[in-house]
Every structure is written in structure tokens, then in C-alpha cells.
Amino acid sequence: MTRIRLSEVKKAYGEVEVIHGVDLQVDSGEFCVFVGPSGCGKSTLLRIIAGLEDITSGSVIINGDTVNDIPASERGLAMVFQSYALYPHMSIYKNMAFGLENSKMPRTEIDNRVRAAARMLQLEDYLERKPKALSGGQRQRVAIGRAIVRDPRAFLFDEPLSNLDAELRVTMRKELATLHASIGGTMIYVTHDQVEAMTLADKIVVLNEGLIEQVGTPLDLYNNPQNAFVAGFIGSPRMNILDARVETGKAGLVLRAGPCAIAIPPVDGLAPGDKCSFGIRPEHMDVTSPDRADLIASCALSEQLGGETYLYCEVEGLPQITVHRPGQLSVSEGEEVALSIDRSKLHIFDRNGLTLANGVPS
């Protein structure tokens, strides 16, 4: 089993630094997902671990050995690329066997391993075909198979599902989860799709502009984001984040954002007069009667999906507010809706975006 540790890793292309010192520990057998917006450095970080990119400073440590100067081919890791990167001139069998041939494995052993992996991934009927003759999902499975047969120290996935259509992506996601459960290797997975991150990960690493914003289990990130970026990034649809000013209220403080005022008990680090922001997830808002409402908004768009309803509401001077409720709501467009906020799910951030409170007593 393999532990991978990054220590103070920095990467610069010429003058431009893209990774600004990353410390990270991926434990043995863990499914670790790097997630972040485009250009946040998640793929670069994965390629650094793979050995396909050099680092400017810091160290990459695999099982206690610093591997900074060890080339990709010697690190014993396997990678699945976004483009699958199957060798177009080789049959599926050859594609899977290529890595094993390079490590001078006996032919019978290669054959056993390739056939075992093909059985596992339901590719047995396609072994003699060229990659061109396979569908996207099958190619993806071949790419995974090519990684599996090598029995690598760790698996690296670089946005492996992003070239597949939505339906196939869900299927493959499940297959990946099953795969991890059955072979149990250390896996690092890069994606910009937070649904993949939430469903697959043991541990999510949220990256932004070359820095780690937060590391934690999916639900930990969802419930207790450390800052406004993570709060906004994790969860779909996005958390509503509103800028507010703190005022004194009857029983503590009031967060005032435009026409909306939210009374909260005193919070450490928040004083009257401060600028701050607060966030509330769409599913933690409710439609209520006007006398108990925290804010009155007009519904700009309502999406009725049958099992759930999304309301996109507008309040003057505030960004659009999304409300997500289970079941069917009889709210039509243009109608006024009274919304209440679940205080126990309210996230409060200071002016720098750092979390002050994840949920306040109501």
C-alpha cells in the first residue's frame, strides 16, 4: 500500500508560479479527489505526483522516499488520461500488455493479468480490436484496465470521465467506486465536477489558484467549509452567498443585506459595523408565510422537476437567490415568495472570506 506526501511543493513556469506551496498527505488505500475550477493547478499537481512535471521546490514523497529526481517511468504509478491516450496502432490486448512488456514480465504472466483485467472490465470480447473500433466508455475501460494490470503503487486519474456523455459518466462513476472497493489501491482523482468528487472521494482536496483551500471528507466540506470559496464551490446548485453589514439587534446581531435582515445571536469575531458575508445553501431555505419570513423575493424562474423544485428568486440589490425544495411547489413566475433561512445551516464569513460560523443557534 502506498502513502503519498507532498511537502511545500511549488511549481513555476518561467516567472509564473502556478503551485504556491502545497502540503498534502494521501493515505494508503484512500480515494483522494482534487477538485477546483479550471486553471487551479489540480492537473498540474497530479502530473507532479506522476513525475510528468518537475517541481521548482519542495518534495514529493512516496512511501517515505523522496522521488523528486525519479522519472515517471520509475515511480510505479499508473495514470488514466482524459483523452484515454490509448495507443491507436496496438490492439486492446497490446495496449494493456505494453506496460508489462516494458517491465520484462514473462509472457504467461502478462497474459494472465491482461485476461483477468479484461474479465473484470468486461472487455474480453474486444481484446483483438483496435481502440478506434471501441465506444467511448469501452475505451475508458481499456485505459483503466491498462492501469490495473500493472498493479501500480497508486492510480492517478486525470478527469477520466469528462469526455463521456452524461449517462455514461454516471455509470462509469459507479464502476470506478466499485473498482476502488474491490482492488482498494491508493487513488488520486482530478475532476472539476463536484458530483464526481462528492460521490467518489474518501477525501476531497479543494484547490484554488495553486493553493489548497481545504482538505476533508465530502460531508465535512459540505457542512463545515473553511471559507467562502469552498462553501461556494462544493454543493450544487451553488450556495447563495450575500454580502452583508453587521448591525446591533434585539437579541444579538443583525446581518443586513439590502432589504433583508437576519437576526442572529452574537458570533465570535463579528462586531456591529463590520462587513461580512453569509451563505445559505438552496436546500436550507424554505418558503414560508410572510410574517415569519427572513426575506421577501420575487420568483424569476421556477423549475419543476416533479420530485423537486428549484426557484430562482430576485431581490432588489442582491444577487439571484436559488431555493431548492423537495416535492412540488405551486409558485409561478413573477409571484412574491416569502423565504426563511435555516439558522443552523447558516454560514458566516468574515470580510476575507474565512468562516466565522457554520450554523448558528436560532
Of 72 and 357, the one with the shorter C-beta distance to another protein is 72
Nearest Cα neighbor of 162 from 197, 207, 206, 203 is: 197
State how far the Cα of 271 lies from the Cα of 246, in Å rounded to an integer. Answer: 7
* Min CB(131)–another protein separation in Å: 11
* Min CB(142)–another protein separation in Å: 11
Of 88 and 307, the one with the shorter C-beta distance to another protein is 88
- Binder among 12, 72, 170, 261 for another protein (CB under 8 A): 72
Judge whether 236 and 250 are in contact, CB under 8 Å.
no
Of 7 and 82, the one with the shorter C-beta distance to another protein is 82
Residue 209, SS3?
A: coil
- Binder among 57, 73, 112, 248 for another protein (CB under 8 A): 73
Segment 182-211, which members bind another protein (CB under 8 A)?
none
Cell 521546490 found at = 57
* Min CB(32)–another protein separation in Å: 18
Asked whether position 78 contacts another protein by CB under 8 A, the answer is: yes
Asked whether position 117 contacts another protein by CB under 8 A, the answer is: no
- Binder among 57, 59, 66, 103 for another protein (CB under 8 A): 103
Of 141 and 284, the one with the shorter C-beta distance to another protein is 141
* Min CB(197)–another protein separation in Å: 23
Of 76 and 258, the one with the shorter C-beta distance to another protein is 76
Of 117 and 315, the one with the shorter C-beta distance to another protein is 117
Of 11 and 281, the one with the shorter C-beta distance to another protein is 11
State how far the Cα of 135 lies from the Cα of 184, in Å rounded to an integer. Answer: 27
Asked whether position 130 contacts another protein by CB under 8 A, the answer is: no
Binding part of the chain for another protein, among 59-67, 74-82, 236-244, 317-325 by CB under 8 A, reads: 74-82
Cα distance between the two ends of the chain: 47
Judge whether 246 and 313 are in contact, CB under 8 Å.
no
Apex 120 CA angle, 164 and 132, nearest 5: 45
State how far the Cα of 115 lies from the Cα of 215, in Å rounded to an integer. Answer: 38
Q: What is the DSSP string of 42-104?
A: HHHHHHHHHTSS--SEEEEEETTEE-TTS-GGGS-EEEE-TT----TTS-HHHHHHHHHHHTT
Of 52 and 211, the one with the shorter C-beta distance to another protein is 52
State how far the Cα of 234 lies from the Cα of 241, in Å rounded to an integer. Answer: 13
Asked whether position 62 contacts another protein by CB under 8 A, the answer is: no
- Binder among 14, 64, 88, 273 for another protein (CB under 8 A): 88
Q: Which residues contact 180 (CB under 8 A, 6 or more apart)?
A: 31, 187, 200
State how far the Cα of 230 lies from the Cα of 221, in Å rounded to an integer. Answer: 7
Judged by the rule CB under 8 A, the positions of this chain that interact with another protein are 50, 52, 71-74, 77-79, 81-83, 85-89, 98-99, 102-103, 146, 150
